[in-house]
Amino acid sequence: MEELGHRISLNLLAIYRPLEMRKRRCRFCNREARLLIRQANLPLCEEHFVSWFERRVERTMRRYYMVGPGERVLVAVSGGKDSLALLCVLTILSERMGFEVVGLTLDLGIKGNSYSERSVKMARQASEELGVEHIVVSVKERYGFSLPEALKADKRPPCSLCGLMKRYAITDIAREKRFDALATGHTLDDMACFILTSYITGAVRELVRLTPVVRPGLPGLPKLIKPFYESLEEHIRAYADFKGLTYMPDGCPYASTAPSDRVRAFLDQLESVSPGMKHSLVRNYIKHIRPALHAYLKESLEPLRACSKCGMPSSGEICAFCRLRERVLQRLRR
């Protein structure tokens, strides 16, 4: 895997391909190209890449009817490249498409290397530069416990617990503040990885829920939208760099090698020899496999109900977050 990791990071470094690009000219203005959109063999300069990228996200949002005019969109901003790029592109598209954008950053209370503090700082700085309203919510203040405290009380892997807390908190806050939509920075790479992993493991009930827009199953909840559903991480990174955004480096103090990392590395390799492969995998899932699975599983899928404690969507009587919260608070009281 070391060898693999090495090759992939070389690959990422190579995306601005100074050598290869020096010979190529932007398709639109004949200036020196900075980046090659490989699946379209399209060399672009910085300026035309930025507008290509923004138009592409706009197309995704229109194709899946993500946001209507006048709607209010809460953007989950972790401080990483994907979410800062999302905040940036949505701010630009909000003018064109007539919706409203607010950023939200959770302070999870991760102390290692001042991780949470730095994340919040980068998100706040980017929001200021973009002129976007930005909310910071400390999970410790809101729910009584931080992520590190949850990790001590629960044996689940860090990424799984963190995901549960973040998903719950951002939905809860969007609901409280009556947002129409909640936008997350999930990328085409994330989608491809989740889909292939589900094909391998057979987690079809989780797979069938994966759509570009998840309409709320209960009243008062925001729809969940993924504007980067068709955008590659390498393009998102380039966009963030060209826009001069300062973002947190990938990886958090709790991150270890997740099993999905292997699938992700293999997909990266496959994409590098067959550009467009990830998009094809995801598009064909949405076009063919998902409708079939949905029709087949429809009757056996459990309807979501409201958690009897907090009213948020839950598959059981009490939602997973409320169960976690009770366990952690009990431990903290001791």
User: Under the rule (CB under 8 A), what is the footprint of a copy of itself?
Assistant: 1, 195-196, 199-202, 204, 259, 262-263, 266, 269-270, 273-274, 277, 280-281, 283-285, 287-289, 291-293, 295-297
**Angle between helix 188-201 and 277-284 (nearest 10):** 60
Task: Kindly give the residue spans of alpha helices, DSSP state H, lying in 139-232.
Answer: 139-143, 147-153, 158-176, 188-201, 204-207
Placement of tokens 């959770």 in the chain: 106
Report in angstroms how near the CB of residue 39 gets to a copy of itself at its nearest.
Answer: 13
Q: How many CB atoms lie within 10 A of CB 282?
A: 22
Please give, one letter per residue, the 3-state secondary structure of 77-115: CCCEHHHHHHHHHHHHHHHHHCCEEEEEEEECCCCHHHH
Residue 283 tokens, joined: 């598009």
CA-nearest of 103, 95, 227 to 173 is 103
Q: Which residues, 6 or more positions from 160, have their beta carbon under 8 angstroms from its beta carbon?
A: none
Angle at 324 between CA 219 and CA 225, to 5 degrees: 40
How far, rounded to the nearest angstrom, does the alpha carbon of residue 142 sit from its chain's CA centroid? 23
Integer CA distances (angstroms), 263 to 191, 192, 199, in order: 12, 9, 11
Placement of tokens 């955004």 in the chain: 245
Placement of tokens 């094809």 in the chain: 280
118 Rama sector, left if φ>0, alpha if ψ -120 to 50, beta otherwise: alpha
